[in-house]
Amino acid sequence: MKAPEGFDHREWWFGIKMARAALLRPLPLLDKNGRPFRFAMVDPLLEMQHRIDSDASVRLVGPHGPLSAKTRDRYILSSLMEESITSSQLEGAATTRKVAKQMLSEGRKPRNHSERMIFNNFQTMQWIREQTDQELTPELVFDLHRRMTEGTLDDPGAAGRFRTDEENIVVAYGGETYHEPPAATELPVRLDKLCAFANGKSPDYFVHPVVRAVLLHFWLAFDHPFVDGNGRTARALFYWSMLSQGYGVCEFLPISRKIKEAPARYARAYLYSESDEGDLTYFLLYHVDVLQRALVDLGGYLRTSSTERRSLEERLAAGVDLNHRQKELLAHALKHPDEQYTIAIHRTRQRVVYQTARADLLELHRLGLLEKRRSKKAFYFMPSVDLEDRIRELR
């Protein structure tokens, strides 16, 4: 934030700090010295919170929404893939997005450590969607972490259990230590308090659902209860909280993609909150802004998707009997002329049985819209070189 004319940054920061002081409210989360973290519902936060509530209330599916139920399911699946990939990349997964997405689409087994991180993340994110009617318990957190890290830790027995003092965990970024978490002996009590907060049993004042979800994200990352995978687990816990509090739109928002665009800002949001007397307003402002920008991206996608769908429908001959799955594939193929389509990928994306996926692709091949090719193990389909012309000729 730029300082007003006549103030240097130190003076401006001190003024903001004093203005916040009267608004700060304590949380059950304590720092290592036993002092409560606090936050202030400052005007920019209230404004962003209102925008999120307004955007999140828009009906996405149904007769008055921009998405059909099938398109919704496909987009949610794509968003979960994107979140799983970028959340894992934030913690060191070195697989490219293209390879990772192909692995998840085909349902093949991971081949290395990085792919295993992403595969676990994707499976866990889908599992989380089924847990939103439950209260958060330590056992549920352990289960979440176990699913997230299975087969990725140096010590397989560390999945789904607290770290120990002997494991000497610190958090570093760019070679610099940012955070030394609380002692391992404190973790059982801390996790009980986190669960009580997640379930709305504390504090004794109203906390907006989005704020509660963001604070849970920070809380688990600060306590760092596990030997590894804390960041992925914290971001997944944010999703659980948002979904369990009725923010279904969060399924459409891969927030880790926005975080990955500027990971240093993410690290600084943690650092400022911890170093400035436990003022979590820094982290809230950062995270709510990330959420708001993800919603803007979703709005752009919906507008573009609607326009592309209308354009495609206009370009396809009215008499050609193509179903919605085939039309969606063609819309994708027009933008990705080098894409390879297999029955397995089409089946996963559209959530249909093998025979239906096979029939869809063979019909598009018969019409000359897809080319059929063979690899060593199986055949696949690619968009025809002159796909646009062929669609026009269908009129």
CA distances from 153 to 115, 150, 171, 230 (A): 13, 7, 17, 12
DSSP 237: H
pLDDT for the residue numbered 292: 93
Tell me the pLDDT tens digit for each residue of 296-346.
Answer: 999 888 888 777 767 766 776 555 678 989 988 998 888 888 899 999 999
25 in any annotated domain? no
271 in any annotated domain? yes
The pTM for the full model equals 0.82
pLDDT for the residue numbered 301: 83
Same-domain check for residues 283 and 361: no
Is the pLDDT at 173 greater than 80? The verdict is: no
68 in any annotated domain? yes
Pairing of strands 370-374, 379-383: antiparallel
13 in any annotated domain? no
CA–CA separation, 350 and 357 (whole Å): 8
Average pLDDT over residues 250-262: 95
pLDDT for the residue numbered 66: 64
Among 264, 299, 334, where does a domain finish?
299
Same-domain check for residues 214 and 341: no
Same-domain check for residues 339 and 215: no
> Which CATH number do you get for residue 329?
1.10.10.10
Q: Count of domains in the chain?
A: 2
Tell me the pLDDT tens digit for each residue of 47-68.
Answer: 999 999 988 766 665 545 666 6
Is the pLDDT at 242 greater than 90? The verdict is: yes
Tell me the pLDDT tens digit for each residue of 118-152.
Answer: 999 999 999 999 999 999 999 999 999 999 999 99
157 in any annotated domain? yes
Same-domain check for residues 369 and 273: no
Tell me the pLDDT tens digit for each residue of 258-295.
Answer: 999 999 999 999 999 999 999 999 999 999 999 999 99
Strand, coil or helix: 348: helix
Mean pLDDT score of the chain, rounded to an integer?
A: 91
Same-domain check for residues 220 and 343: no
Same-domain check for residues 184 and 280: yes
CA–CA separation, 125 and 144 (whole Å): 9
5 in any annotated domain? no
Among 250, 268, 299, where does a domain finish?
299
Tell me the pLDDT tens digit for each residue of 189-203.
Answer: 999 999 999 999 999
DSSP 369: S
11 in any annotated domain? no
Nearest to 42 by CA among 375, 289, 296: 289
The answer to whether 244 and 201 are in contact (CB under 8 A) is: no
Q: Which residue has the tokens 């429908």?
A: 313
Same-domain check for residues 181 and 71: yes
What residues make up the domain containing 103?
Answer: 31-299
Whole-number percent of the chain with pLDDT over 90: 70
Same-domain check for residues 290 and 330: no
Q: Sorting pLDDT into bands at 50, 70 and 90, what band is 117? A: very high
Same-domain check for residues 45 and 144: yes
Same-domain check for residues 104 and 206: yes
356 in any annotated domain? yes
Same-domain check for residues 352 and 265: no
Same-domain check for residues 142 and 285: yes
